[in-house]
Chain A
Amino acid sequence: MRAAAWVAVGGLALAGAGATLLAGANPLEAAGALLRGALGGPQQIAETLVQTASLLFPALAVGFALRGGLFNIGADGQAVAGGLVAGLIGAAWPGAGGFALVAALAGGTLAGGAWGALAGVLRARFGGSEVIATLMLNVLAGLLATYLLSGPLRAPGATGPETAALPESVWLPLLMPGTRLSVALPLALALAAALQIVLRRTIYGFELRAAGLAPETARRAGIDLGAIAFSALSLSGAMAGLGGATIVTGVLHRFDPALSPGYGFIGIAVALVGGLEPARIALSAFGFAILQSGSLTLQAFAHVPKDVIVLLEGLAIVALAGRRAFVARATLPP
């Protein structure tokens, strides 16, 4: 297995080098630019950590659901739901300070959880594939947000579907002044730690893992697969929603429907690279964040279009699909 992993990494490196050459740049220079852009100084590292947090929430969401044999491909939509509610609460909450922020985050978490719960109901009650459901709900979340913000909930003076800018009192406290690095990161890391404990040591985690690895066995052991599907998808959605809420309150300081550009899909890669273990997912998220935050420098200085990162991430996901150690999925119901 080790050998196959190295072959995959080597293959990806080759692909990256090839794409760089196509763009007319020197691969080594390009790699250097990428790393400098991601880790070259305190500002850069802070930005990379911001990206780590943004990626970690959806990755934990996807990874958690996958442990239960469930495919949550809708983390982006759940993040949108969470971000929307957080933005609305934050913009409208009367009075100052901490309560508004906490309310925004909590609201976002619940909204994301509700969005995930929709897929959960379809799966638990009707046996409907959560792959399709979360994919469809992804798009529907964006449409709903756009509609609400262009019409009924339109912010005064807004030119597009955005909420009003959040007052500073509702911003996530910064860890490092002068950067965008906020408490979103420790929040995400705390979530990872909590999930690690839930999965390894709690009865819920035990039942979730059983359902994911051997659904018929789990059923006969008295585990309610429908309840697991519903709760896991809801919790997963809640995590993604919280992530969206942190992006709105910590990075953008307003709601924008494009707040989670494909993080839900990249989150799948992050989760798989982390072997579906929350602690390793955190490390994996950091690795992917380096790619994301370095990509802008890559484009600016080495003149390699930043989409090469997306391209490589796609290849990584395909490579990861072949992992033998992949968790057995409950098959799509008939």
Chain B
Amino acid sequence: MDGFALELREIVKTYPGGVRALDGVDLAVRPRELHALCGENGAGKTTLAAIAAARLQATRGRVTAAGTVGFVPQHPHLVERMRVWENVVLGREPRRGLRLDAVAARERVRNLSARFALPVEPDARIESLDAGAMQRVEILRELAREPAVLILDEPTAALAPGESDALFATLQTLAASGTAILVVTHDLGDIAEYAERITVLRAGRVAARFERGARASEIARAMVGGELPVLATRIDGPTAPCLEVRALSARAGADALHDFDLDVRAGEIVGIAGVEGNGQRALADAVAGLTPYRGTVRLDGRELSAGDPGGRIAAGLRTIPRDRQREGLVLEWTLAENLALGDQRRRPLRRGPFLDREAARARARDVIARFDVRAPSLEARAYALSGGNQQKLLAGRALAARPRLLLACEPTRGIDVGAAALLRSRVIEARNAGVAVLVISLELDELFELADRIVVLFRGTRTGEFARDGFDRARIGAALAGVRAG
């Protein structure tokens, strides 16, 4: 140990079945350093981080740390029904005799909050907090243990551009005052400015190492390993109104939408931009008929009734859901069976009360070919596919039915570059063929690639709309943070 805060030597991680997630990775973080671990989805960064934080066991290799390693996961592991102070002191509760000393606990939280400049409300319930606040709570919880190293996994995913800046400033201060920081991210964004050193992972190996000041384009190239794949050409055709949303108000958990209007025309792609938790889920669920709402949703001029997903499918709405494993697939089923979902009541898949299995398999063969789904056979179970292939399967299913409207929720979340490019190309091709497309994405770059128009959501209302020739990162960023455009 030559004065490193965290050292990973020759880490190998193999999963049963032979998948090698990490293939001999070396990584060292110096004390007081802000270090970034970058890579595309599927490169192995989260696996490496989990191993570094002792949440996962490496198959081979050594992890040495100069003290405790704190870990802030991408999705917070907080007890939602409890309060901030309860979550922060869990496991290290201040006591008075046998009792839990709630007063001292709250005091401790306030002290930590002041010391690290992370404002939180000790008595607030987690379920009432937004993503940024939850992240601050999670960071405080880890900092309370005085770690030598703090690892953050994709911390900017749920933050607005302005909030990201604040976070990085905080992290820099933290690093300077003694805690080494390792940020894991696939979004270059601002990390290139703030990080002292950057390690790029690709396909389980270290592809490159950079120092502060390296150009973002170089880093991006190292992440992808070459040039970015080219997308399908856009061909403009005639458009007509397809989806009309008026005065829509809805809730999906803590996510809310207020009095929202939207038009999506056939042959165009409308992108919904926004930091996570600003109404996207409410919008998606309302359009898909999964949650009650006020207002009207019309498809091809016909009004849809709330709470009727089946009716929408019949009317020509197809969805690529946000969570492919829980909302899109039946993991235990074969590819053919999964591809029949959604259309099982219509011909040709239906023959009287029976399911036409031959028709289902024909459809499966077609989708697998068109969407380059890599699977051992038609009879393979969905759980055996990689994330990218699962997502391609779902996109193929949605487009196979020749929908009137395609609703795509974070369509390339967590999948590799190749699969993402293919998926986006297929979406553009669908647009060219006259499908109305509504894409909800947390990645601005994706929307820049796909959308004809971008509508920005903030706290459930529209703060701006931008046409393709007016895609301005700065103005859109401001709209994301709540500044009304124009």
State the main secondary structure of chain A at its contact with B.
Answer: helix
Interface string of B311-335 (1 = CB under 8 A from A): 1111000010101001111111100
Instruction: Decide if A220 touches B328 in the complex (CB within 8 Å).
Output: yes
Please tell me which one of the listed residues B309, B314, B332, B345 contacts residue A220 in the complex, with CB atoms under 8 A apart: B309
- Judge whether B428 is part of the interface by a CB distance below 8 angstroms: no
- Cβ of B398 to closest chain A Cβ, rounded Å: 11
Instruction: Decide if B333 touches A213 in the complex (CB within 8 Å).
Output: yes
- Judge whether A204 is part of the interface by a CB distance below 8 angstroms: yes
Instruction: Decide if B355 touches A206 in the complex (CB within 8 Å).
Output: yes
- Cβ of B321 to closest chain A Cβ, rounded Å: 6
Instruction: Decide if A222 touches B309 in the complex (CB within 8 Å).
Output: yes
Instruction: Decide if A203 touches B321 in the complex (CB within 8 Å).
Output: no
Known contacts being A201-B355, A202-B355, A203-B350, is A222 close to B327, with CB within 8 Å? no
Instruction: Identify which of residues 201-234 in chain A touch chain B, using a CB-to-CB cut-off of 8 Å.
Output: 201-204, 206-207, 209-210, 213-214, 216-224
Closest to A210 in B: B330
Known contacts being A222-B310, A224-B310, is A217 close to B355, with CB within 8 Å? no
How many Å lie between the Cα of A222 and that of B289 in the bound state?
9
Instruction: Decide if A221 touches B354 in the complex (CB within 8 Å).
Output: no
Q: How many residues of A are counted as interface, with CB atoms below 8 angstroms from the partner's CB atoms?
A: 20
How many Å lie between the Cα of A222 and that of B329 in the bound state?
13
- Judge whether B270 is part of the interface by a CB distance below 8 angstroms: no
Interface string of B342-353 (1 = CB under 8 A from A): 101100001001
Instruction: Decide if A213 touches B330 in the complex (CB within 8 Å).
Output: yes
Closest to A214 in B: B330
How many Å lie between the Cα of A328 and that of B325 in the bound state?
13
- Judge whether B288 is part of the interface by a CB distance below 8 angstroms: yes
Instruction: Decide if A223 touches B326 in the complex (CB within 8 Å).
Output: no
Known contacts being A203-B350, A214-B330, A216-B327, is A221 close to B341, with CB within 8 Å? yes
How many Å lie between the Cα of A217 and that of B353 in the bound state?
22
Interface string of A36-80 (1 = CB under 8 A from B): 000000000000000000000000000000000000000000000
Which residues on B sit within 8 Å (CB–CB) of A219?
290, 309
Instruction: Decide if B353 touches A203 in the complex (CB within 8 Å).
Output: yes
- Cβ of A306 to closest chain B Cβ, rounded Å: 39
How many Å lie between the Cα of A217 and that of B324 in the bound state?
9
Interface string of B166-181 (1 = CB under 8 A from A): 0000000000000000
- Cβ of A235 to closest chain B Cβ, rounded Å: 14
- Cβ of B70 to closest chain A Cβ, rounded Å: 31
Instruction: Decide if A202 touches B353 in the complex (CB within 8 Å).
Output: yes
How many Å lie between the Cα of A203 and that of B310 in the bound state?
14
- Cβ of A149 to closest chain B Cβ, rounded Å: 40
Instruction: Decide if B345 touches A203 in the complex (CB within 8 Å).
Output: yes
Which residues on A sit within 8 Å (CB–CB) of B311?
222
Instruction: Decide if B331 touches A214 in the complex (CB within 8 Å).
Output: yes
How many Å lie between the Cα of A210 and that of B355 in the bound state?
14
Please tell me which one of the listed residues A203, A209, A214, A224 contacts residue B326 in the complex, with CB atoms under 8 A apart: A214
Known contacts being A206-B340, A222-B309, A223-B310, is A217 close to B354, with CB within 8 Å? no
Known contacts being A203-B345, A203-B355, A207-B344, is A216 close to B310, with CB within 8 Å? no
How many Å lie between the Cα of A201 and that of B312 in the bound state?
25
Closest to A223 in B: B310
Q: How many residues of B are counted as interface, with CB atoms below 8 angstroms from the partner's CB atoms?
A: 30
How many Å lie between the Cα of A207 and that of B353 in the bound state?
12
How many Å lie between the Cα of A161 and that of B320 in the bound state?
59
Which residues on B sit within 8 Å (CB–CB) of A217?
321, 326-330, 341
- Cβ of A9 to closest chain B Cβ, rounded Å: 25
How many Å lie between the Cα of A207 and that of B314 in the bound state?
16
Instruction: Decide if A213 touches B353 in the complex (CB within 8 Å).
Output: no
Instruction: Decide if B330 touches A204 in the complex (CB within 8 Å).
Output: no
Please tell me which one of the listed residues B290, B331, B333, B354 contacts residue A203 in the complex, with CB atoms under 8 A apart: B354
Closest to B397 in A: A221
Instruction: Decide if A220 touches B353 in the complex (CB within 8 Å).
Output: no
Instruction: Decide if B288 touches A220 in the complex (CB within 8 Å).
Output: yes
Instruction: Decide if B319 touches A220 in the complex (CB within 8 Å).
Output: yes
Interface string of A9-47 (1 = CB under 8 A from B): 000000000000000000000000000000000000000
Instruction: Decide if A206 touches B344 in the complex (CB within 8 Å).
Output: yes
Instruction: Decide if A203 touches B344 in the complex (CB within 8 Å).
Output: yes
Which residues on B sit within 8 Å (CB–CB) of A207?
344
- Cβ of A329 to closest chain B Cβ, rounded Å: 13
Which residues on A sit within 8 Å (CB–CB) of B328?
217, 220
Known contacts being A202-B353, A202-B355, is A221 close to B313, with CB within 8 Å? yes
Closest to B288 in A: A220
- Cβ of A168 to closest chain B Cβ, rounded Å: 39
Instruction: Decide if A222 touches B313 in the complex (CB within 8 Å).
Output: yes
How many Å lie between the Cα of A220 and that of B323 in the bound state?
11
Which residues on A sit within 8 Å (CB–CB) of B312?
222
- Cβ of B201 to closest chain A Cβ, rounded Å: 32
- Cβ of B379 to closest chain A Cβ, rounded Å: 15
How many Å lie between the Cα of A207 and that of B354 in the bound state?
12
Which residues on B sit within 8 Å (CB–CB) of A328?
332
Instruction: Decide if A220 touches B327 in the complex (CB within 8 Å).
Output: yes
How many Å lie between the Cα of A270 and that of B321 in the bound state?
37
How many Å lie between the Cα of A214 and that of B327 in the bound state?
8
How many Å lie between the Cα of A207 and that of B310 in the bound state?
12
Query: Which residue of A201, A214, A328 has the most chain B CB atoms within 10 A of its CB atom?
Result: A214
How many Å lie between the Cα of A201 and that of B350 in the bound state?
10
Query: Which residue of A203, A213, A222 has the most chain B CB atoms within 10 A of its CB atom?
Result: A222
Closest to B350 in A: A203
How many Å lie between the Cα of A209 and that of B344 in the bound state?
13
Instruction: Decide if B341 touches A210 in the complex (CB within 8 Å).
Output: yes
Which residues on A sit within 8 Å (CB–CB) of B345?
203, 222
- Cβ of B445 to closest chain A Cβ, rounded Å: 27
Closest to A205 in B: B355
Please tell me which one of the listed residues A202, A204, A213 contacts residue B332 in the complex, with CB atoms under 8 A apart: A213
Instruction: Decide if B354 touches A202 in the complex (CB within 8 Å).
Output: yes
- Cβ of A1 to closest chain B Cβ, rounded Å: 14
Query: Which residue of B310, B313, B330, B331 has the most chain A CB atoms within 10 A of its CB atom?
Result: B330
Which residues on B sit within 8 Å (CB–CB) of A214?
326, 329-331
Q: Could you list some 18 contacts between A and B, CB below 8 A?
A: A202-B354, A203-B344, A206-B340, A206-B355, A210-B333, A213-B330, A214-B330, A214-B331, A217-B329, A220-B288, A220-B327, A221-B309, A221-B313, A222-B309, A222-B310, A222-B312, A224-B310, A328-B332
9 nearest A-B pairs in the assembled complex, by CB-CB distance: A222-B310, A221-B341, A214-B330, A221-B342, A222-B313, A216-B327, A213-B330, A222-B309, A202-B353
Known: A202-B354, A210-B341, A213-B333. 6 other contacts (CB 8 A): A204-B353, A214-B330, A216-B323, A217-B327, A220-B309, A222-B314
Question: Which residues of chain B have a CB within 8 Å of any CB of chain A?
Answer: 288, 290, 309-314, 319, 321, 323, 326-333, 337, 340-342, 344-345, 350, 353-355, 357
